[in-house]
Structure 1
Amino acid sequence: MDSLRKSLPSMNGMFTFEAAARHGNFSKAADELNVTPAAVSRMVARLEEYLDTALFVRHPGGVNLTESGQLLFDAISRGFSGIGSALREIQDRRSGIETVSLSVSTGFTTHWMMPRMAKFKEQFPAVDLRFQLVMGAVSGPVNDVDLGMRYIHGSDERHEAVFVMPEIIVPICSPDYRDSHAPQKDAKRISDTTISLSDAEPNWSSLFAPAEEGGSTNSMIFSDYAIVVQAALLGQGVSLGWLNVVAHWLRTRALVPASDHVVKTDRQCHLVRVREKPVRPIVMEVRDWLIKELNDDVEAVASLYPNLELDRQLAARR
């Protein structure tokens, strides 16, 4: 340990490097650390000089890690994550309240998690949930959280992934919008207004191509999927409904399928954790509860709307 301590540069340099690598941008790292971008640049330069190797490739839009930089960032992330977990567990033991952190979309948090928070607190009265929210397409590392909801193909060397459900997308709208606009049964002829997520993949054009069918005359595009779903709830148009997000509203009939056309992609929704993190039983309990509640919702939606043939879509869930 003494030799390691002597070989390390300042911890301040490590914190600065980690923030710059995580953001891919010196200015954003500076905002987080409450320093100037020039100070971040100087600290990183000192670290590179100390190690006698480049850690970043600089370009006008930000920075990218070199191979050496990625090696250091991965090690630091694991170390900071372990320290954070230990500190949180110490605080939990003192307060009697356990915390579980989730990296999920704003859409999932707003439209699936929030409506059942009372049920969650009834099941887990001594658990505080903390959210790391993703506004657009769900992606990014899960180093700083206990669980992340991601569309991936399964576990890897660094991550343990538990399958939740396939990625299933249903065109959705409010009952009033459906009744007043009478969308066609063929989703490729959805009429009037479509509501889209700006960076979504897949998107309207790749799934249903309404413009090619001469159906949609207007569109609204947002960068936050929570707003997309909210606009659909308010009767503003038809949007793509990711089933793991909108299942609650379909189950309660606040939203309804705009057509019987359902798309199942080759992607799969998983709850992911970093393997290096100590396994806390409460995290596994919360994970299992989330999966059960989601599957209960989806099964209820399948019963309510048999024309969607969700049972067939879910048959290959594993």
Structure 2
Amino acid sequence: MSIKLPPLNALKVFEVAARKLSFSQAAMELCVTQGAVSKQIKALEEHLQLPLFYRTPKGLELTAPGKLYLPTIMSALEQIHSSTVTLQQFSAEVQHLVLDISPSLSSLWMIPRLHLLDERFPSLRLSLISGDGAYQFNQSSADVAIRCLPLSLSHQNATLLTKEILLPVMHKDLLVNSPINEAKDLLKHSLIRPTTRPQLWNQCFNRFIGDDYGDNVPTSRHAFEHFFMSLEVVKQKQGIALIPEFLVENLLIDNQNEDEQIESLSNKELVNPLGLKYESGYGYYFLTPSFRHQDPMIKQLLEWFQVNLSDV
């Protein structure tokens, strides 16, 4: 009788979570959300019909089946990784690509995942340059580009990777003196303005408050060009910024997550008050010149971005 094997992704998540004995630390190593780690562990436990972790007040502990399972899974994953790298290096020639990518996407998302890119493409030598706005390949030396653009079907040689979903993000300490119990309470805090897209806060308030601000008046002191700048200002407790969800989700405290309530929150200080979010009407596009559409490496790189811009 054949036995259905558990998904490889779930096994990889189990190995990291068991080694760290922490779902939050596993999420950081895998560059995914803590919720995604919890989901994969739950799926694996359901597949095996066995519990792998105890959730205790002090954190995570491996069950007896978990302790028995871990060494075998670690060995198997190492063998798969080693064999895959050997095979790819044996057959692949070194390839060089220049990627022109938005600054915030590069610093907050791409660079933390370079190890994943290296594992998938050991023969790739990537040069990253940065820029924003509409892109013309005839004015640049880049082979591919990633840009945040208004959602449209008319962008040429473009593949939508993900829609932009914005969250109001702030430091948890700001809630002590000025709590947020409803959307209007956002107006009690200083708003960090984006210089290149000044309409974003108006869109946010129209979505959640409407035109009735009551006695509250939006206030802001400084404005910043890029999301990574605004995020740093948020960390310094200077106000609330609108940040794309996939750029900040690993940094947010999730008060609804049971596992995160158990584990230490010392490495997370940011919150999304009330869990508010909205689609901005923009999206992140993978752009290629028409004559490179069928390039095998570029096609594989596109697939990698599509997979890694979603949870494990």
User: What TM-score does the superposition give when structure 2 sets the normalisation length?
Assistant: 0.54
For residues 115 and 189 of structure 2, the distance between their equivalents in structure 1, rounded to whole angstroms, comes to 37
Question: How far off its partner does 1:97 sit?
Answer: 2.9
Alignment match, 2:261: none
Q: In structure 1, which of residues 109, 113, 118 is the aligned counterpart of residue 115 of structure 2?
A: 118
For residues 124 and 255 of structure 1, the distance between their equivalents in structure 2, rounded to whole angstroms, comes to 33
For residues 138 and 107 of structure 1, the distance between their equivalents in structure 2, rounded to whole angstroms, comes to 13
In structure 2, relative to structure 1, the CA distance for the partners of 1:206 and 1:152 (3 Å cut) is: closer
Q: How does 1:1-318 map to 2 (within 5 A)?
A: 96-134=93-131, 138-143=133-138, 144=140, 145-150=142-147, 151-153=149-151, 159-179=156-176, 181-186=178-183, 189-200=186-197, 202-208=199-205, 212=213, 214=216, 216-250=218-252, 253=268, 255-277=270-292, 279-296=294-311
8 Å contact 1:183–1:190 — kept in the other structure?
no
Residue identity over aligned pairs, in percent, reads 17
SS of corresponding position for 1:237? coil
2:306 maps to amino acid? I
In structure 2, relative to structure 1, the CA distance for the partners of 1:254 and 1:114 (3 Å cut) is: farther
For residues 115 and 234 of structure 1, the distance between their equivalents in structure 2, rounded to whole angstroms, comes to 21
Alignment match, 1:305: none
Question: How far off its partner does 1:240 sit?
Answer: 0.5
Question: How far off its partner does 1:239 sit?
Answer: 0.3
User: What TM-score does the superposition give when structure 1 sets the normalisation length?
Assistant: 0.53
For residues 178 and 128 of structure 1, the distance between their equivalents in structure 2, rounded to whole angstroms, comes to 45
For residues 277 and 153 of structure 1, the distance between their equivalents in structure 2, rounded to whole angstroms, comes to 23
Question: How far off its partner does 1:132 sit?
Answer: 2.5
1:197 maps to amino acid? P
Q: Which has the higher strand share?
A: 1
SS of corresponding position for 2:134? coil
1:237 maps to amino acid? G
In structure 2, relative to structure 1, the CA distance for the partners of 1:270 and 1:218 (3 Å cut) is: closer
For residues 187 and 123 of structure 1, the distance between their equivalents in structure 2, rounded to whole angstroms, comes to 46
Question: How far off its partner does 1:108 sit?
Answer: 0.8
SS of corresponding position for 1:138? coil
For residues 165 and 268 of structure 1, the distance between their equivalents in structure 2, rounded to whole angstroms, comes to 6
Question: How far off its partner does 1:109 sit?
Answer: 0.7
8 Å contact 1:103–1:147 — kept in the other structure?
yes
In structure 2, relative to structure 1, the CA distance for the partners of 1:255 and 1:116 (3 Å cut) is: farther
**Unaligned residue ranges in structure 1 (runs of 5+):** 1-94, 298-318
For residues 202 and 244 of structure 1, the distance between their equivalents in structure 2, rounded to whole angstroms, comes to 21
For residues 27-66 of structure 1, the C-alpha deviation after alignment (integer angstroms, 9 at most, x for no partner) is: xxxxxxxxxxxxxxxxxxxxxxxxxxxxxxxxxxxxxxxx
Question: How far off its partner does 1:263 sit?
Answer: 1.8
8 Å contact 1:108–1:244 — kept in the other structure?
no
Number of residue-to-residue matches in the alignment: 200
For residues 227-253 of structure 1, the C-alpha deviation after alignment (integer angstroms, 9 at most, x for no partner) is: 112222333221011234334434885
8 Å contact 2:100–2:129 — kept in the other structure?
yes
CA RMSD of aligned residues (A): 3.2
For residues 168 and 275 of structure 2, the distance between their equivalents in structure 1, rounded to whole angstroms, comes to 8
8 Å contact 1:173–1:255 — kept in the other structure?
yes
In structure 2, relative to structure 1, the CA distance for the partners of 1:146 and 1:279 (3 Å cut) is: farther
In structure 2, relative to structure 1, the CA distance for the partners of 1:164 and 1:201 (3 Å cut) is: farther
For residues 215 and 190 of structure 1, the distance between their equivalents in structure 2, rounded to whole angstroms, comes to 6
Question: How far off its partner does 1:260 sit?
Answer: 2.9
